[in-house]
Amino acid sequence: MEQHYNDLLKKLKSRSDIDPNREFSSELRQKLIKRQHNTTNSSSLATILTIPVTLSVFVFLVMVTTGQSIGLKHAAQLISDKEKYLETTMCIVLMFCLSLFISFIYFKGFTKGRLVYLTFSLSFIAWVGNLIYAEHDHKEDSIEQSGYNETFDNEIVNPLMMKQDQQQDGEEEGQ
């Protein structure tokens, strides 16, 4: 019996005293730290924002210098009056959302950091985007107007011609 206890004590002494939970938690912590470290290094908010801003600036500069257009207008082309109204509403909603976001950031009291830089980059993106869209819209309108002049202007729709016709009709009826 005594020998049995001695053996047991020896076994206990030789046992590697490892707490599995503790080991697991430390491993998990290390993993989490590694992952967090990786994410902050690879894709921070600054890098995510810098790429589209730089691209938009380059596109804009190319457009201004070469006078060429990009075929983005067809994707966002709106035809009917209802859609035109929707477009204006969207513009106003976006404008107010951005303004509210900017007001929120500054009235909250941020002086530095990502959110402050975000307000600058978002307003710059909004300006560049609007300029590009206006450029396309203007080109589209000028094409439509030239088509209208060629087909209808001299025949039916010209209001001056219609007025003259009506006056002639009235004179004939009077005679």
> Would you say 28 or 93 has its CB closer to other proteins?
93
Q: Which of 152, 129, 151, 8 is nearest to 76 (CA)?
A: 129
We find the least distance from the C-beta atom of residue 158 to other proteins, in angstroms, to be 23
> Would you say 103 or 154 has its CB closer to other proteins?
103
> Would you say 38 or 88 has its CB closer to other proteins?
88
- Judge whether 83 and 66 are in contact, CB under 8 Å: no
We find the least distance from the C-beta atom of residue 112 to other proteins, in angstroms, to be 8
Q: Which residues bind other proteins (CB under 8 A)?
A: 64, 87-88, 91-92, 94-95, 98-99, 102-103, 105-107, 109, 111-112, 116, 119-120, 123-124, 126-127, 130-131, 133-134, 137
We find the least distance from the C-beta atom of residue 130 to other proteins, in angstroms, to be 5
> Would you say 26 or 99 has its CB closer to other proteins?
99
